Structure 1
Amino acid sequence: MERREFIKKFAATVAAMQLGDVISLIPNAVAAEVPTAALSHLRLADCIADVLRVPSVCLNCSNVCGMNVLVKDGQILGVEGSKTDPNPQGKLCAKAHGGVSAVNYSERIVYPLKRVGERGSGLWQRITMEEAYEMIAERIKPAIAAGHPERVVFHGGRNKIGDIVGRFMNAVGSPVVLNHRALCSANKRAANLTSIGDKDWETVDAERCRYFLNFGSNFLEAHQGGFPLMRRYVKAKAAGAKMVTFDVRLSNTAGRSDEWHAPFPASEGAVALAMAHVIVNENRYDAEFVNAWMNVSLAEIKTFLAPYTPKFAEEASGIAASDIARIAREFATAAPACVAFTNRGTQGHQNGFNNERAVVLLNALVGSVGAEGGYAYGGSQSIKGSNFPEPAPIPPKPKFSTDLEDPKQYPLSNHWAKMKVSELVFDKLLKGEHQVDVYLSYTIAAPQNWPEGPQVTVAALKDEQKIKFHACSDVVYSEMAHYADLILPDATYFERYTIDARNAYELQPYMVLRQPAVEPPFDCENFADSLINIAKRLGPDIAKYFDFDSYAEFVAYRLNSLPKRDGLNGFDYMKKHGAWVWDKPKNYRPFAKTLSAEQLLGTTVENGVIYQEVKGKKQAIGVMQNGVAKRGFQTPSRKFELHSPYVEQMAQQLGIKDDGWPHFAFPESMTQRKPHQLVLTTFKWNVHTQGRTAPQKYLTEIVHDNPAWINRQTAKRLGVKSGDFVEVTSYRPVSDYQVHNPSEVVGKIKVKVVVTEGIHPDVIAISNSMGMNYGGRIAEGRNGKAAELPAFAQAEDADMVSHIWWDKRRGGAGNGFNPNSLIPINPSPLVGNQSWNDTICDVVKV
């Protein structure tokens, strides 16, 4: 629907709801279904001649691809890839195109709403934005006055306004900033941190790579940085590259590989170590790298790898020892233009941290770390610190932490900014371990996406003693908004500013600007601006840190620290071009770079490590190599650390048995699994991103159902065929952060199945992002007229009145199943990464 028509039709109905009116937003408050002809849509080709192209950035997934938003007469017609963004190289995926439908979604929330019934009852009253600011400020003030600013908690998903969130929370004095890292890539980051000192995931130099050894990554569908990686992989494949994939499921990436092997869940580390065994014992390693850059000797490496033979790995994984040895030889032969890499499939286990370290080790042994065509890292632009200063005065950071955002039993989660172990948050709140007076949530759908979300998360959010006040900013009436006390109508990413960047796949630092292509409708507002307005009402001691009118002004100040280009200041240049690329050499072998005389001023050398005093603390900045000062890795030894003294030290302090080497051992739940039981794994479709995309109609039209995958052999044993339903029952893990009775049931769901050879016989796989209870008719899969809800934009969409063909009431497939009620809260040791793929289930036909 045209944006002008959207506004025109809404204006005719806005008087139906006056300030103070009470409405219901619960899903069953809809009028009877009325078949309606589809509305006509403008064709892009009819109006492309004078279209305005606004450079911006997609935010429908973690790839954050640059795009041009096509606008005419204040209406978004569509998007196209931006060629100024070096990562996607002018191309976009379906999620980017489908995201446009979020802007004019006819069930979008456009006014602030105050809860008037019981929390979760769905009764709301329209208020003004000024009233909303005051309500939140008046809740925050007592916590500050009582000397307990930590009782103010911020919890956000992927949002890209961390600069203003951090400023706001620092000004309040609360360290409790939570997000979702431990649900995502904590084990992967921790493995890189302890091995090479980098805190991000690898940046595969894919275009120049000739051998891809893939452990559990589905980058042709869903992966951090997957779209830029896919673009370059296509070019590498055309040049003759080979890819071998180890995955329990025949993903799109596995299906397009030269070889697919389905290992038993959590055995990837055994396979990687066996390959390392072959490479070392057959002298296929890079002697220069091993001797100069590893923190242990070749003899120590051989001793460590001695037990991990291909035969050992075959027994653990089910993959033939001959295949493991052959692939190891092929991988080493392709070096250094080869890469062993991972993603969620490998790390989402209790042993995921060491699985990840074992895979990283393969790159080190063959010398592909930092090499052209290899396991590249670093080189991305950090948009913080002195390079991008914030307006003064800047609030000081709190000098204390709490166990909610900084749990000490997971020290390897605490090396990067405010993430920590997010799957524990709601469990800790239910147990009364942290008092929350004000809970600010933004862009997360925890009841849907958290392990035990439908049980533990919902119980915590509904408890008005555990969470005394909950303000949620969202675009739609989401799973999170339903359990709030106040809903702020958010701007979509087409209507707001943020600075962004990702791993630079051209290995040259860059950043991009997300900017409004259209103005947000009615009271919708970037939550960053909401925080600024709230801060101004918290008294002069906090308001002094927000002496600017808007987030746009804040972003402009930061970007104007850039030098002028084309006669434009940084902000205007970014608004015009959308991206800024630094003209630097590609970041190959950064560890081997020689330190300059200036960098060496005031340094000392101890045991070959070069130290510099920074703010009164001794900090390693390099390492001596044959009398030459080199940068080295960012580890304490400045070398690649196969043995991690830090891991060993932290384990000893916590009473955990770990000698600092990446040994392989199965999670205990796997070893005690009964023969008939299956292991649950979850995955992501290429058109969905957890709770963000379900209300976007074109994406949900493509994928709205998620039957469970089971192997043909397993199906025969269970007596089921495709389309039949099974009951899946899951249990507590044998060991986790708080040991439970392993016979205790976590959850039960009934789900239909699809029978396929494309999955390991001991695995059942269910995708996420489905089975929404809230989010509007598209997410919920139900036809019918919208209820007379003047908080929603009243421009009706006929597609949602009668054309949701997957509506179960009309014989459709329905809106799918949420597997997270089956998955127990299960953080991995030391790191705290959620062990998604260790869930043991009974499966029976119903």
Structure 2
Amino acid sequence: METTMTRRDFLKSAGAAGAAGLVWSQTIPGTLGALEKQEIKGSAKFVPSICEMCTSSCTIEARVEGDKGVFIRGNPKDKSRGGKVCARGGSGFNQLYDPQRLVKPIMRVGERGEGKWKEVSWDEAYTFIAKKLDEIKQKHGAHTVAFTARSGWNKTWFHHLAQAYGSPNIFGHESTCPLAYNMAGRDVFGGSMNRDFAKAKYIINMGHNVFEGIVISYVRQYMEAIENGAKVVTLEPRLSVMAQKASEWHAIKPGHDLPFVLGFMHTLIFENLYDKKFVQKYCTGFEELKASIEPCTPEKMALECDIPADTIKRLAREFAKAAPKAIFDFGHRVTFTPQELELRRAMMMVNALVGNIERDGGMYFGKNASFYNQFLGEEDPKAKGLKKPKTPAYPKVEVPRIDRIGEKDGEFFLANKGEGIVSLVPKATLNELPGVPCKIHGWFIVRNNPVMTQTNADTVIKALKSMDLVVCVDIQVSDTAWFADVVLPDTTYLERDEEFTAGGGKNPSFGIGRQKVVEPLGDAKPGWKIAKELSEKMGLGEYFPWKDIEDYRLQQVDGDLDLLAKLKKDGSASFGVPLMLQEKKSVAEFVKKFPGAASKVNEEGLIDFPKKIQLFSPKLEEVSGKGGLGYEPFKYKEEDELYFVQGKTPVRSNSHTGNVPWLNNLMEYDAIWIHPKTASKLGIKNGDAIELYNKFSSQKSKALITEGVREDTLFGYFGFGHVSKDLKRAYGKGVNSNALMPSFTSPNSGMDLHVFGVKVKKA
């Protein structure tokens, strides 16, 4: 059944919702507000899909409800999320119908950053882009164009297009947020790890604020653990919502998390609190690890992290006593220190030392089809994976990537090529990087906003202005699109179908990706279609042999119509039964389901790991001399500066939801947290207009005086201080934290650094 809504109906519903910003005035070429009439068509029945208001990608279902707009709720079939959505998720309807969203291609007619645009046809846009890409290819080589796509589905299409074109320089957003823990998982465990928070009895949390960053499944698990009596200890410089719900909060010195973890680990090892049997059987490199951290006593590390040695030792002893139902949470945003890889490796190793791997209330391997199938017998049915449609081989490229991933001596060898070190793109535009005999001349950016997400916005903007071509695919004229030559209008997540996904928690699973709830507004197109049509204009159509997304999906499931139908109906599907390799009951249930797996069970009724856990890294030792762990002091700020740290707010994402009317109304500015003693010394009162400044930038905001932050520290939320004047609600409001950050790339991990120094005064 299909429901339609006219523009008049929409305006009535928007007004009833109190979205005062939804006024069709001061229109920008190519935006929804510039259209004279727009009829809304969509499904009156709930359609399962995936939210895109942040990178958590929660499961949802949505439908058009008469003249009331689109109703979005959590998918009730998803037990881990309980059928819930957050404020960001619920505002997707508001983003869909935003008059300031882009629905037609636009092209720059003035200087970059001047904000002068003209509306163009898709063919004109494609022709311009294809011609410029060919010119760069002929003059400098295809490898001098970087392609960045926000993590998720868009990588499938645009990384494929990039490599068909001949560029190896493909990137995601990971090095600005979670990459180091992905790298640490690969180094220590050989792959990704999951956390069983709900069954834990003791959790150490160092700034993984799931209650404001909002990962609904984690929120529910943490709350279940707390309600069941678990002790949660948080260590972060400010009293976050996570810290408020914890049993203990310790205001650790910004950037000094690693000394705490090393002192904690030192206690586990040198007081013989670790699980000797587990370490001996399942780990390698223990003696090398022990030798590397011997100097890192709690007493020495306490002087660095500002947590008393007695507290470090007490927490380690309590943690070991609670194991294996104890988790040292390795976090998500991993931009606290130049030693990010060492920090996240250390956190993961703590879990291995107490033997919580593959235990209830501990950590466990992500079990996709290939991982799960290795424990099945020959006669047992096997979990299926998704297939990739066959395409021609990519052109061979002789020049290394700008981050040298894939080279024998590559510093960032633990990163996947699709992740990459994206913060090197601006640097490789302005200067040649060591070992890379070229500069970047073009940047194709899909649903990513480096002006707001990469450190030192000024460097990013200078790079954008110096390029031969900048193309953005987005739903709005973002801060990065503001400096583009062409902006192509993507559909919102409610307007498109996407490819299926495969993964696994305790057993293999499939996901629907996204399903279309309403027909695309204006002339917006989904990413798969943009990539396919542009490839044809570039003469690369053979690399996109599928007719449409439905054809692509059918090839993914290898013609399995039952699986296709189930995914469309329910949004997900799973195989087998949950498996925890070190839990006898779970193993017994697994063997009952798959009798052939009995041959994999050891004399203890458990299943051994397929490979050893690595507590010392020979490859890291070879590349950088850092196979073990150690602490290297770093100067984050000048003596007369304060630390500045940031975090997420539950109602706005880091870069792309600040202009959504409902969310902007909920939080228009980001007040900066200042301790009362610090504020008193500076003559600042609550609510005062203030200025944050350092050698990189100056930003204005308001003061929030609170004891919930260290005296030597200021705190602010991400996602404010937008520089695109076409984001009319969010432009210029609050602090653009990235503008104040140094342009820094952490060794071995390639991570940005979000801890640095600023001064503050009354404005």
- Whether TM exceeds 0.5 here: the answer is yes
**Distance (whole Å) between structure 2 residues aligned to residue 440 and residue 756 of structure 1:** 43
Letter in 1 for 2:488: L
Comparing 62-71 and 72-81, the one that deviates more = 72-81
Corresponding residue of 2:623: 650
Comparing 254-263 and 438-447, the one that deviates more = 438-447
Gaps of 5+ in 2: 12-25, 35-39, 372-382, 592-599
**Distance (whole Å) between structure 2 residues aligned to residue 305 and residue 87 of structure 1:** 38
SS where residue 704 of structure 1 aligns?
coil
Shift of 1:260: 0.5
Is 1:747 aligned to 2:667, yes or no?
Answer: no
Shift of 1:691: 1.4
**Distance (whole Å) between structure 2 residues aligned to residue 505 and residue 258 of structure 1:** 28
CA contact (8 A) 2:169 2:401 kept: no
1:162–1:534 Cα change, 3 Å: same
**Distance (whole Å) between structure 1 residues aligned to residue 545 and residue 67 of structure 2:** 31
CA contact (8 A) 1:175 1:405 kept: no
SS where residue 518 of structure 1 aligns?
coil
Is 1:571 aligned to 2:564, yes or no?
Answer: yes
TM-score by length of 2: 0.85
- TM alignment of 1:366-515, pairs within 5 A: 366-380=354-368, 387-396=385-394, 398-406=396-404, 411-412=411-412, 414-431=414-431, 434-436=438-440, 438-453=442-457, 455-463=458-466, 467-499=467-499, 508-515=508-515
1:711–1:571 Cα change, 3 Å: same
**Distance (whole Å) between structure 1 residues aligned to residue 612 and residue 395 of structure 2:** 32
CA deviation map 1:99-157 (0-9, x unaligned): 22111101122221222222222222222112222222222334455682223332222
SS where residue 125 of structure 1 aligns?
strand
CA deviation map 1:386-426 (0-9, x unaligned): 93223333433644453425366862355313222212211
CA deviation map 1:416-473 (0-9, x unaligned): 13222212211220226644554321111222222111x111122122xxx2122222
**Distance (whole Å) between structure 2 residues aligned to residue 382 and residue 724 of structure 1:** 57
SS where residue 59 of structure 1 aligns?
coil
- TM alignment of 1:765-804, pairs within 5 A: 765-774=715-724, 776=726, 779-780=729-730
Q: Over aligned residue pairs, what C-alpha RMSD do you find?
A: 3.5
- TM alignment of 1:10-159, pairs within 5 A: 25=28, 51-72=44-65, 76-144=69-137, 148-159=141-152
1:347–1:381 Cα change, 3 Å: farther
**Distance (whole Å) between structure 1 residues aligned to residue 645 and residue 83 of structure 2:** 34
Aligned counterpart in structure 2 of residue 251 of structure 1, from 236, 240, 244:
240
Letter in 2 for 1:531: A
Corresponding residue of 2:19: none
Corresponding residue of 2:203: 212
Aligned counterpart in structure 2 of residue 828 of structure 1, from 740, 743, 746:
746
CA deviation map 1:153-203 (0-9, x unaligned): 3222235122222332222122121222111122222222221121x4x42
Aligned counterpart in structure 1 of residue 285 of structure 2, from 296, 307, 320:
296
Comparing 361-370 and 371-380, the one that deviates more = 371-380
Corresponding residue of 1:363: 351
**Distance (whole Å) between structure 1 residues aligned to residue 545 and residue 68 of structure 2:** 33
1:831–1:584 Cα change, 3 Å: same
SS where residue 754 of structure 1 aligns?
strand
TM-score by length of 1: 0.77
Aligned counterpart in structure 2 of residue 314 of structure 1, from 290, 297, 302:
302
SS where residue 392 of structure 1 aligns?
coil
Shift of 1:728: 2.7
SS where residue 253 of structure 1 aligns?
helix
Shift of 1:232: 1.5
**Distance (whole Å) between structure 2 residues aligned to residue 24 and residue 115 of structure 1:** 16
Gaps of 5+ in 1: 11-22, 32-41, 43-47, 597-622, 652-657, 731-744, 782-813
SS where residue 514 of structure 1 aligns?
coil
**Distance (whole Å) between structure 2 residues aligned to residue 627 and residue 92 of structure 1:** 42
1:318–1:436 Cα change, 3 Å: closer
Comparing 316-325 and 387-396, the one that deviates more = 387-396
- TM alignment of 1:675-754, pairs within 5 A: 675-730=639-694, 745-754=695-704
1:357–1:146 Cα change, 3 Å: same
**Distance (whole Å) between structure 1 residues aligned to residue 158 and residue 727 of structure 2:** 32
Corresponding residue of 1:663: 630
CA contact (8 A) 1:722 1:755 kept: yes
**Distance (whole Å) between structure 2 residues aligned to residue 374 and residue 643 of structure 1:** 21
CA contact (8 A) 1:203 1:504 kept: no
SS where residue 412 of structure 1 aligns?
coil
Letter in 2 for 1:283: N
Shift of 1:319: 1.5
1:303–1:108 Cα change, 3 Å: closer
**Distance (whole Å) between structure 2 residues aligned to residue 323 and residue 295 of structure 1:** 29
CA contact (8 A) 1:448 1:479 kept: yes
CA contact (8 A) 1:513 1:574 kept: no
Shift of 1:512: 3.2
Shift of 1:780: 2.6
Shift of 1:293: 2.0
Letter in 2 for 1:361: M
SS where residue 166 of structure 1 aligns?
helix
Aligned counterpart in structure 1 of residue 223 of structure 2, from 227, 234, 240:
234
Corresponding residue of 1:5: 6
CA contact (8 A) 2:162 2:170 kept: yes
SS where residue 488 of structure 2 aligns?
strand
- TM alignment of 1:797-812, pairs within 5 A: none
Letter in 1 for 2:512: V
Corresponding residue of 1:640: 613
Is 1:843 aligned to 2:760, yes or no?
Answer: yes
**Distance (whole Å) between structure 2 residues aligned to residue 314 and residue 435 of structure 1:** 44
CA deviation map 1:745-775 (0-9, x unaligned): 2222233221111112221112110112337
1:107–1:750 Cα change, 3 Å: closer
SS where residue 52 of structure 1 aligns?
coil
Percent pairwise identity = 24
CA contact (8 A) 2:48 2:61 kept: yes
**Distance (whole Å) between structure 2 residues aligned to residue 8 and residue 723 of structure 1:** 40
CA contact (8 A) 2:507 2:579 kept: yes
- TM alignment of 1:567-646, pairs within 5 A: 568=562, 570-589=563-582, 632=609, 638-646=611-619
**Distance (whole Å) between structure 1 residues aligned to residue 268 and residue 709 of structure 2:** 29
Letter in 1 for 2:325: A
Corresponding residue of 1:551: 549
Corresponding residue of 2:17: none
Shift of 1:367: 0.4
**Distance (whole Å) between structure 2 residues aligned to residue 140 and residue 556 of structure 1:** 32
Corresponding residue of 2:22: none
1:499–1:399 Cα change, 3 Å: same
1:237–1:507 Cα change, 3 Å: farther
Shift of 1:335: 0.7
Letter in 2 for 1:523: D
Corresponding residue of 1:331: 319
Letter in 1 for 2:535: A
1:241–1:504 Cα change, 3 Å: farther
1:504–1:400 Cα change, 3 Å: same
**Distance (whole Å) between structure 2 residues aligned to residue 442 and residue 481 of structure 1:** 10
1:246–1:431 Cα change, 3 Å: same
